[in-house]
Amino acid sequence: MYDIIIIGAGVIGSLIARELSKYNIKIALLEKNDDVSCGASKANSGIIHGGYDAKHGTLKSKLSYKGNQMYDKLNSELNFGFERIGSLVVGYNEEDLKSLKKLIENGVKNGVKNLKLLTKEKIKEIEPNINDNVQYAVYCSDVGIVSPYEVTIAAAENAIKNGVKLFLNSEVISIKKDEFFIVETQKKIFKTRYIINCAGLYSDKIANMVGIDDFYIIPRKGEYMLFEKYYGDIVNHVIFQVPTVHGKGVLVTKTYHNNLMIGPNAQEINTKDDKSTSLENLKSIYIKSKNSIPNIDYKKIIRSFAGIRATSNKHDFIIEESKIKNFINVAGIESPGLTSAPAIAQMVENILLNKESFKKNKKYNPYRKFIVKKKTKDELLSNTELKPLLDNETYICRCEQVSKEIILDALSRGIEVKSVDGIKRRTRAGMGICQGNFCSSRVKKIISKYYNIPIETVKDREEASGIINERVNRIEILKNFK
């Protein structure tokens, strides 16, 4: 018998689990996949937004800036890696200037403090590679960058350390309500007093199981292109174009680990499993990105990928106790969901505390040690220094220079990781230009030995069968982009 079951171990579910682990209650975190952070939390822009663009008066507007301001403390405790690099929303003409001024007005209403309207001379000074046609920009110093899956993993690890039980491969099949909720999964039946529905794209399906049908999820796909490490130095800030009704448009940014990334587009799709990318869409993204930074070199591309956002028909976050007592929906969490995540966790905590009192967990520890630190170019070993260490397997990944010790550390943190992709997200082994061609077999060998399982059972990635995952690779892009 559990006090609370959280369905979905993305960034929202994992941070809620961590927040509630402050109390002396029994919590289960259920995830249908083989690992945490396998949905939208794995494939998004990794931007901690400034809070100025969410329409004033919406739940997004109330939680976005609040969440942004919580990230410094959150990172100091969980060590996932966070950097405030600021953003520019760029405009090219007088019509864009009107939109930018409205953006500032909206941001001020939302409580955002660090907003400035810049003109061309100042823009070129702080962002030398910006398009010469740019005339105006809204600058926000609060905007930051993270690896979204590292935030999720860190939160889940800390929640587990504080007593939360994580159940992977545990897709919810049915929920029945009597005195308590009876939650049936593929592996086990659970009983609980409360359910918190954080199932992302499938939150409507979970809600339907208890008779809630007042919202539905519209899957919206966004495709991205990722470039070589340190090519992120081509920009100093997150570069947005003037937003439209379809979203914030194509952005250009460095990632936390200093790759360059461009995207996404926005496509409403018919299936929640289509994570494919297309050459036509990637070309369009590339062309649009050059409106911001004209000299992006497509030859630096490493890979393409896609993520699916859980847009609700209400076009705002849904965070509330439903008409079914003790069933809390946390649904429709699209952008700026990652930004708002810590504030969402607190909001859910308050919903529960308004219903009853929980005793504090006296053993609660908010701290979690990092797995990998961001490396500068100067911190990398030379090829001459690295070669003998690869031969004796001290270093497993050549591109990212990841040691065996780091991989073993990642395996020892309370979450079972039996895929190369799971290790990749935790340690960056396989994120270099060779995309795991050198290290994948080595990583499989370590996983096999650690869990004492046959090496052929170690998967490349943890995605469930049925997912459409056809991605345009680097070779196709190099052949077709001119």
Catalytic residues: 49
Burial of 388 (0-12, 13-18, 19+ CB in 10 A): exposed
The structure tokens listed for 306 are 């896609």
- Alpha carbons 352 and 474: distance in angstroms, whole number: 48
- Alpha carbons 267 and 221: distance in angstroms, whole number: 5
- Alpha carbons 106 and 100: distance in angstroms, whole number: 10
- Alpha carbons 272 and 266: distance in angstroms, whole number: 14
Which amino acid, residue 7? I
Positions of E strands within 313-451: 318-321, 327-331, 395-397, 402-403
By DSSP bridging, strand 189-197 and strand 327-331 are parallel
Residue burial 51-60, b: 16+ Cβ < 10 Å; e: rest: bbbbeeeebb
* Residue 38, CA distances (Å) to 199, 304, 421 in order: 11, 17, 10
Which amino acid, residue 251? L
* Conformation bin of residue 315: beta by default, left when phi > 0, alpha when psi is -120 to 50: left
73: CB partners within 8 A, 6+ apart:
none
* Residue 221, CA distances (Å) to 7, 51, 263, 270, 401 in order: 22, 22, 11, 10, 33
* DSSP, residue by residue, 41-97: TTSS--EE--SSSSPTTSHHHHHHHHHHHHHHHHHHHH----EE--EEEEE-SHHHH
SS3 27: strand
382: CB partners within 8 A, 6+ apart:
none
Taking the CB of residue 481, how many other CB atoms lie within 10 A of it?
16
325: CB partners within 8 A, 6+ apart:
none
- Alpha carbons 235 and 237: distance in angstroms, whole number: 6
- Alpha carbons 47 and 407: distance in angstroms, whole number: 26
